């Protein structure tokens, strides 16, 4: 922050930090974090014992504070174990990666994939900020092929919607990014087992699963958390049923709903997004 910031702004910032730490998300949508926009475009906030350097004007990063306080993260913290190997696809600024790294400890390892250059910089800065030595950040993406391909960045307002699919937003702009498959990545990095795979790839979910077919067949992925996005999947020639069929071939599929697991219902298929939790058959 600039040394020329007035005293009243410094006092306001200190007060906001206290409010942000204790203000519950479930009670009021008017959250004091929005006032951070009075300050420079980066702010440091702590959630679940991890510090995050964020841009308060990026919707995806803004929602970090909602996600980190949610019952879903209570669930994740129960299943992440010391020594786990975690892969985070669509890591953004690192909310899952960093909290997972804290839980799995120095004997565990997180591999965080983020193709957006801006989000990747936040991810690397957050790793450095927390001095984590058990996260490997990779500036590329996972699909069902290897090589360079178009990727659509959704801009500063919500970088979390960046995707292989061109349907995300009218303000998206196209870049080329490097892709590989989970099959090939685990071979190159000598990874025998993935304990937890998180997939938030805005429509490329089926491509990720196709590129991980050998791992699924051999039982080398234990647990998957995946967000299925209807419109983006369809734009890339797939749908939720294709993803679920492939997952059900190798393990049990449930819906993660406010920190609790439940069976899939017909109404889930009408939603634009489903949060899926999968465990391999023993």
d(CA 109, CA 194): 10
Residue spans per domain, the chain: 79-280
At 224 the pLDDT is: 99
Burial readout 146-162 (b: 16 or more C-beta within 10 A, e: otherwise): eeeeebbbbbeebbbbb
Task: Tell me what pLDDT residue 68 has.
Answer: 65
Q: pLDDT 10s per residue in the chain (282 long)? A: 444 556 666 566 666 666 655 665 444 455 555 555 555 556 777 888 898 887 766 666 666 666 666 889 999 999 999 999 999 999 988 999 999 999 999 999 999 999 988 889 989 999 999 999 999 999 999 999 999 998 888 765 445 566 677 765 555 678 899 999 999 999 999 999 999 999 999 889 999 999 999 999 999 999 999 999 988 899 899 999 999 999 999 999 999 998 999 999 999 988 889 999 999 998
CATH superfamily of 79-280: Vaccinia Virus protein VP39 (3.40.50.150)
Question: Rounded to an integer, what is the distance from CA 45 to the centroid of its chain?
Answer: 18
Strands 251-257 and 223-229 come out as unpaired
pTM for the whole structure: 0.83
Query: Considering only CA atoms, which of 276, 271, 264, 259 is closest in space to residue 225?
Result: 276
Q: What's residue 279's pLDDT?
A: 98
Give Cα separations from 47 to 73, 102, 107, 118, 137 (angstroms).
Answer: 11, 11, 22, 22, 20
Alpha-carbon distance of 276 to 282, in angstroms, equals: 19
Q: pLDDT at position 91, please?
A: 93
């Amino acid at each position: 922050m600039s040394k020329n910031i007035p005293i009243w702004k410094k006092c306001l910032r200190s007060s906001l930090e206290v409010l942000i730490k204790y203000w519950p998300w479930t009670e009021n949508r008017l959250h004091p974090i929005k006032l951070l926009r009075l300050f420079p475009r980066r702010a440091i906030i702590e959630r679940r014992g991890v510090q995050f350097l964020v841009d308060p004007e990026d919707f995806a990063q803004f929602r970090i504070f909602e996600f980190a306080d949610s019952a879903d993260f209570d669930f994740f913290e129960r299943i992440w174990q010391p020594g786990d190997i975690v892969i985070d696809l669509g890591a953004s600024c690192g909310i899952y990666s960093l909290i997972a790294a804290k839980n799995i400890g120095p004997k565990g390892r997180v591999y965080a994939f983020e193709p957006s250059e801006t989000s990747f910089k936040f991810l690397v800065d957050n790793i450095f900020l927390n001095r984590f030595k058990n996260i490997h950040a990779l500036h590329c993406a996972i699909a069902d092929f290897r090589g360079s391909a178009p990727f659509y960045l959704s801009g500063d307002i919500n970088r979390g919607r960046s995707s292989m699919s061109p349907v995300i937003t009218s303000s998206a702009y196209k870049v080329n990014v490097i892709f590989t498959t989970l099959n090939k990545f685990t071979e190159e990095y000598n990874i025998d087992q993935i304990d937890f795979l998180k997939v938030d790839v805005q429509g490329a979910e089926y491509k990720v699963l196709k590129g991980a077919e050998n791992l699924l067949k051999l039982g080398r992925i234990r647990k998957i958390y995946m967000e299925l996005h209807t419109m983006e999947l369809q734009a890339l020639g797939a749908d939720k049923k294709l993803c679920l069929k492939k997952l059900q071939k190798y393990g049990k599929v449930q819906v993660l709903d406010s920190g609790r697991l439940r069976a899939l219902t017909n109404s889930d298929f009408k939603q634009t997004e489903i949060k899926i939790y999968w465990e391999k058959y023993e």
